[in-house]
Amino acid sequence: MKYYLRRIVFYLITLWAAISLNFMLPRLMPGDARAIFIDKLMRRGGEITPAMENSIDLVFGTADSSLWEQYLRYWGNLLRGDLGISITKFPAPVTELIAAALPWTLILVGTATVISFILGVALGALAGWKRGTAADAIIPGMTLLQSVPYFWLALIFVAYFAVQFRLFPIIGGYSLRDFPAGPEWSWAFAQSALYHAVLPAITIIIASVGGWVLGMRNMMVSTLSEDYVVTAEAKGLTRGRIFTWYAARNAALPSMAAFGITLGFVVAGSIVMEQVFTYPGIGKLMINAVQDKDYALMQGVFLVITVTVLAANFVMDLIYGLIDPRARNNV
Amino acid sequence: MLTKSGWKRAAVAALMAGVLGLSACSGSDSPAGGGSSAGTEVKTEGPVLAVFAGSQTPIVANFNPYSPTLLPGTLGSIYEPLFFYNKADVGDPIPLLGTEYEWSEDGTSLKIGIREGAKWNDGTDLTVDDVIYSFTNEAVSMDYLAEAVKADDTTVELKFKEPSYTNEYAILGSTYIVPKHVFEKEADLVTFTNAEAPVGTGPFKLSTVTDASYNVVKNDSYWDAERPTINEVQYLGIDGNSSAESLFKAGQLDYSTMFVPDPTTLTADGHLGYLRLSSPNPLTILTCSNAELGCEGAQTDKAVRQAFSKVLNRDEINEKAYYGHASLAAPTFTLPERDEQWIKDGLPQLVDGGADVEEAKKILEDAGYTLGGDGIYAKDGQRASFTVNSVEGWSDANAAAELMVSQAKAAGIEVKSETVTLDQYTEDRQVGDYEMIISALFGTPISDPYTIYRNSFTTDYTTPVGTPLDARQTNFARYSNPVVDEAVHTAAQTNDEAVKKEAYGKIQEAIVEDVPYIPLFHGGSQTFYNQDDFDGWPTEDNKYAFPASWDALQAAYVMSQLTYK
Given a contact cutoff of 8 angstroms between Cβ atoms, the answer to whether A175 and A216 are in contact is: no
Nearest chain B residue to A291 by CA: give it. B5
Residues 164-183 of A with CB under 8 A from B: 164, 166, 170-174, 176-177, 179-183
Please name the member of B15, B193, B239 whose beta carbon is closest to the beta carbon of A278. Answer: B239
User: Which of A43, A90, A288 to probe by mutation at the B interface, max B CB count within 10 Å?
Assistant: A90
Q: Mean pLDDT, to the nearest integer, of A211-224?
A: 90
Q: Do B243 and A37 touch (CB under 8 A)?
A: no
Q: Do A158 and B246 touch (CB under 8 A)?
A: yes
pLDDT on residue A57: 63
Q: Do A89 and B242 touch (CB under 8 A)?
A: no
| A24 occurs within a structural domain | no
From chain B, the residues in CB contact with A158 under 8 A are 242-243, 246
| A277 occurs within a structural domain | yes
User: pLDDT for B347-370, tens place per residue?
Assistant: 999 999 999 999 999 999 999 999
Q: Do B247 and A171 touch (CB under 8 A)?
A: yes
Q: Mean pLDDT, to the nearest integer, of A168-173?
A: 88
Please name the member of A41, A47, A100 whose beta carbon is closest to the beta carbon of B58. Answer: A100
Q: Is B252 an 8 Å CB contact of chain A?
A: yes
Q: Do A284 and B239 touch (CB under 8 A)?
A: yes
From chain A, the residues in CB contact with B209 under 8 A are 182
Strands B49-52 vs B232-236: parallel, antiparallel or unpaired: parallel
Nearest chain A residue to B138 by CA: give it. A51
Could you tell me how many helices (H) and strands (E) chain A has, helices first?
15, 0
Residues 36-65 of B with CB under 8 A from A: 48, 50, 56-58, 60, 62
Q: Do B211 and A182 touch (CB under 8 A)?
A: yes
pLDDT on residue B509: 96
Q: How close is the nearest chain A Cα to the Cα of B167, in Å? A: 14
Angstrom distance (rounded) from CA A21 to CA A16: 9
Q: Do A156 and B19 touch (CB under 8 A)?
A: yes
Q: Is A35 an 8 Å CB contact of chain B?
A: no
User: pLDDT for B529-555, tens place per residue?
Assistant: 999 999 999 999 999 999 999 888 999
pLDDT on residue A245: 86
Q: Does residue B19 register a pLDDT over 60? A: no
Q: How close is the nearest chain B Cα to the Cα of A181, in Å? A: 5
pLDDT on residue B9: 45
CATH of the domain at A228: 1.10.3720.10
Residue closest to B78 by CA, chosen among B255, B209, B198 = B198
Q: Does residue A178 register a pLDDT over 60? A: yes
Q: How close is the nearest chain A Cα to the Cα of B498, in Å? A: 30
Residues 329-388 of B with CB under 8 A from A: none
Q: Do A89 and B247 touch (CB under 8 A)?
A: no
Angstrom distance (rounded) from CA B542 to CA B538: 6
From chain A, the residues in CB contact with B138 under 8 A are 49, 51-52
From chain A, the residues in CB contact with B141 under 8 A are 47, 49, 51
Q: Using CA atoms in the order B454, B458, B464, B466, what is the torsion angle rounded to 10 degrees?
A: 30
Q: Does residue A220 register a pLDDT over 80? A: yes
Given a contact cutoff of 8 angstroms between Cβ atoms, the answer to whether B456 and B427 are in contact is: no
From chain A, the residues in CB contact with B48 under 8 A are 177
Given a contact cutoff of 8 angstroms between Cβ atoms, the answer to whether B522 and B335 are in contact is: yes
Please name the member of A44, A55, A291 whose beta carbon is closest to the beta carbon of B188. Answer: A55
Q: Do A170 and B250 touch (CB under 8 A)?
A: yes
Please name the member of A42, A182, A288 whose beta carbon is closest to the beta carbon of B210. Answer: A182
Q: How close is the nearest chain A Cα to the Cα of B96, in Å? A: 23
Angstrom distance (rounded) from CA A75 to CA B283: 48
Q: How many A/B residue pairs have CB atoms within 8 Å?
A: 139
Q: How confident is the model at residue A55 (pLDDT cuts 50, 70, 90)?
A: low
Q: Does residue A270 register a pLDDT over 80? A: no
pLDDT on residue B37: 42
pLDDT on residue B392: 82
| A281 occurs within a structural domain | yes
Q: How close is the nearest chain B Cα to the Cα of A86, in Å? A: 10
Q: Is B238 an 8 Å CB contact of chain A?
A: yes
Q: Does residue B445 register a pLDDT over 90? A: no
Q: Does residue B31 register a pLDDT over 70? A: no
3-state secondary structure of B282: strand
Q: Does residue B30 register a pLDDT over 60? A: no
Number of domains in chain A: 1
Mean pLDDT of chain B: 89
From chain A, the residues in CB contact with B50 under 8 A are 177
Nearest chain B residue to A92 by CA: give it. B60
Instruction: State the DSSP H helix or E strand holding residue B564, giving kind and residue range, or none if neither.
Output: strand B563-564
Q: Do A284 and B141 touch (CB under 8 A)?
A: no
Full domain range(s) for residue A185: 94-297
| A231 occurs within a structural domain | yes
| A214 occurs within a structural domain | yes
Residues 215-234 of B with CB under 8 A from A: 215, 234
Q: Does residue B276 register a pLDDT over 80? A: yes
The more confidently predicted of residues A90 and A129 is: A129
pLDDT on residue B419: 92
Angstrom distance (rounded) from CA B125 to CA B110: 23
Q: Mean pLDDT, to the nearest integer, of B376-389?
A: 94
Q: Mean pLDDT, to the nearest integer, of B86-106?
A: 93
Q: Do A46 and B210 touch (CB under 8 A)?
A: no
User: pLDDT for A88-120, tens place per residue?
Assistant: 777 788 999 999 998 888 888 888 999 999 999
Q: Mean pLDDT, to the nearest integer, of A36-48?
A: 55
Instruction: Please tell me the number of Cα atoms within 13 Å of A51 on its side-chain side.
Output: 13
Given a contact cutoff of 8 angstroms between Cβ atoms, the answer to whether B556 and B75 are in contact is: yes
From chain B, the residues in CB contact with A176 under 8 A are 210, 212-213, 234, 236
φ/ψ of A240, rounded to 5, equals -60, -40
From chain A, the residues in CB contact with B208 under 8 A are 180-182
Please name the member of A170, A174, A179 whose beta carbon is closest to the beta carbon of B247. Answer: A170
Given a contact cutoff of 8 angstroms between Cβ atoms, the answer to whether A196 and A175 are in contact is: yes
Q: Do A89 and B471 touch (CB under 8 A)?
A: no
| A173 occurs within a structural domain | yes
pLDDT on residue A65: 67
- Domains of chain B (ranges plus CATH)? 49-64+194-278+525-564 (3.40.190.10), 83-184 (3.90.76.10), 279-523 (3.10.105.10)
Q: How confident is the model at residue B428 (pLDDT cuts 50, 70, 90)?
A: confident
Q: Is the dihedral of CA B511, B512, B518, B520 positive or negative?
A: positive
pLDDT on residue A87: 74
Q: How close is the nearest chain B Cα to the Cα of A299, in Å? A: 17
Q: Mean pLDDT, to the nearest integer, of B247-275?
A: 92
Angstrom distance (rounded) from CA B429 to CA B434: 7
pLDDT on residue B547: 93
Mean pLDDT of chain A: 82
| A303 occurs within a structural domain | no
Please name the member of B19, B68, B249 whose beta carbon is closest to the beta carbon of A90. Answer: B68
The answer for residues whose C-beta is within 8 angstroms of residue A239's C-beta and 6 or more apart is none
pLDDT on residue B387: 96
Least confident of A242-256, A279-293, B81-95, B411-425: A279-293
pTM for the full model?
Answer: 0.81
Q: How close is the nearest chain B Cα to the Cα of A269, in Å? A: 17
pLDDT on residue A316: 82
| A103 occurs within a structural domain | yes
From chain B, the residues in CB contact with A286 under 8 A are none
Q: Does residue B492 register a pLDDT over 70? A: yes
Please name the member of B208, B215, B471 whose beta carbon is closest to the beta carbon of A42. Answer: B471
User: pLDDT for B156-213, tens place per residue?
Assistant: 999 999 999 988 998 999 899 999 999 999 887 877 889 989 999 999 999 999 989 9
Q: Does residue B10 register a pLDDT over 60? A: no
Angstrom distance (rounded) from CA B532 to CA A300: 45
Q: Does residue A140 register a pLDDT over 50? A: yes
Q: Does residue B38 register a pLDDT over 60? A: no
From chain A, the residues in CB contact with B69 under 8 A are 88-91
From chain B, the residues in CB contact with A46 under 8 A are 68
3-state secondary structure of A48: coil
Angstrom distance (rounded) from CA A220 to CA A249: 9
CA angle A206, A208, A209 (to 5 degrees): 70
Q: Is A254 an 8 Å CB contact of chain B?
A: no
Angstrom distance (rounded) from CA B144 to CA B544: 31
Q: Mean pLDDT, to the nearest integer, of A123-149?
A: 84
From chain A, the residues in CB contact with B5 under 8 A are 291
pLDDT over 70 for what percent of chain B? 93
